[in-house]
Amino acid sequence: KAGVTQTPRYLIKTRGQQVTLSCSPISGHRSVSWYQQTPGQGLQFLFEYFSETQRNKGNFPGRFSGRQFSNSRSEMNVSTLELGDSALYLCASSLGHLSTDTQYFGPGTRLTVL
């Protein structure tokens, strides 16, 4: 099976712009979770989507949003970018309905905000 894929891998934006990141899960996985990784804050949970519904949300401002499509692919959007949004954004997929679930991560999207 192909692994989790994320596009684009690298992105450079300027303050005030918006950005959309994409994540394609492993085939058969219905849950997609997003994480932000920064040197200062470490790995922080953004949100999780399961069967096109947001199931859980971390403590991030409303500028961060996401959605999931019927094929389980997910996008996250960040509006009005700030310098502090520069980070590695990781997505992870899993089956989503088992207590024994394990999440598998994609390679990440490196976002730089200038």
Report the interface residues with another protein, using CB under 8 A: 31, 33, 35, 42-43, 45, 48, 50, 55-56, 58, 88, 90, 92, 94, 96-108, 110
Q: Residue 112 Cβ, how far from another protein at the closest point, in Å?
A: 14
Complex with another protein: residue 12 or 17, whichever CB lies closer: 12
Complex with another protein: residue 10 or 62, whichever CB lies closer: 10
Task: Give me the DSSP letters along 92-110.
Answer: EEE-SS-TT---EE---EE
Q: Residue 14 Cβ, how far from another protein at the closest point, in Å?
A: 23
Identify the burial level of 114 via C-beta atoms within 10 angstroms of its C-beta, where 0-12 means exposed, 13-18 middle and 19 or more buried.
exposed
Between CA 105 and CA 41 the distance in angstroms is 19
